[in-house]
Structure 1
Amino acid sequence: MDDHQENAVRAATAEDAAAVRAVTDAAYHPYVARIGVVPQPMEADHGADIAAGRVFVTGEPVAGLVVVRPFPGHLALDSVAVHPDAHGRGVGRLLLRFVEAHARALALPEIRLYTNALMWENQRIYPRYGYDLVERRVDGPYDRLHYRKRLGL
């Protein structure tokens, strides 16, 4: 990504809905066979999430996105999706930095997320960005690892 793109994380608009679906599907599709179920982000109502101001995108065309939801005391990071064509270009790092800045701007002292236990790549990524494993919990067909990052606000 060039310097201009690197700073460009913006709220998604209705016009981004198709791109949000395409990037999410491309990012999560490889996990379907591994975990045996469709990952929840692939089944999300992207239009509703965009309308609610929960989706932020980067790139032109969209190369990556995050879906976040504020709660009292924490920001939930529901999804991070980077198109496979954009891997290795710093898109994920940019998005995780954005999420932290967004939580701080909302005066929320913690970010929480979970990932499927079989998405083992994430078990290497999140700790590198300061996320601590809190618990492992089975929720229906999903075996999830729950992480949090305290921001010290």
Structure 2
Amino acid sequence: MIRLAQIQDRRAVEAIVEAAYTPYIRRIGQKPGPMSDDYDALIREGRAHVLVDEGMIQGILVLIPEEGSMLLDNIAVSPAAQGRGHGRTLLQFAEKTARAAHHASIRLYTNEAMTENIALYSRIGFIETHRAEEKGLRRVYMTKRLDP
């Protein structure tokens, strides 16, 4: 089940983000961007969703509507729950939500050192649009056109 995150979910959301992104700190040389996000604000703004499985929050998704596109700002699955298809479920939910909001595309960015993420997004139809450095992080920007 995927639902909007509630303020009481904040600690679980932050714990998943911490667990999912900590392994990348060494590779990147600093904390990945999602580790610095204000989840209290994202939850209050209705931008954070949680995936609940077996009564526990196992994944999180942050979607930010933009002009003509939906930004998939963050997606993370608890390392203990990986391999169960939760990431795929969250990605499908993101696309469905973007279509329902009449967005023609969904876009995201990831760190260029997260090569496995870039490969995954490419396999499911995202196309690299550009690369840039922001806040000391080297990012790869990708977009996927959505069929109506």
Offset of residue 152 of structure 1: 3.2
2:89 partner SS = helix
Residue equivalent to 1:133? 128
Identity %: 42
The alignment status of 1:16 with 2:5, answered yes or no, reads no
1:115 partner SS = strand
- Find the partner of 1:65 among 60, 68, 72: 60
1:18 partner SS = helix
Residue equivalent to 1:79? 74
* Comparing 132-141 and 41-50, the one that deviates more: 132-141
Task: List alignment gaps of at least 5 residues for structure 1.
Answer: 1-7
Calculate the aligned-residue CA RMSD, in Å: 0.9
- Runs of 4+ deviating beyond 2 Å: none
Offset of residue 128 of structure 1: 1.7
Distance 1:62 1:114 in 2: 24
* Comparing 60-69 and 93-102, the one that deviates more: 60-69
Residue equivalent to 2:30? 37
Residue equivalent to 2:48? 55
The alignment status of 1:100 with 2:95, answered yes or no, reads yes
Task: Tell me the amino acid that sits aligned with residue 146 of structure 1.
Answer: Y
Q: What TM-score, normalized to structure 2?
A: 0.95
Which of the two has greater strand per residue? 2
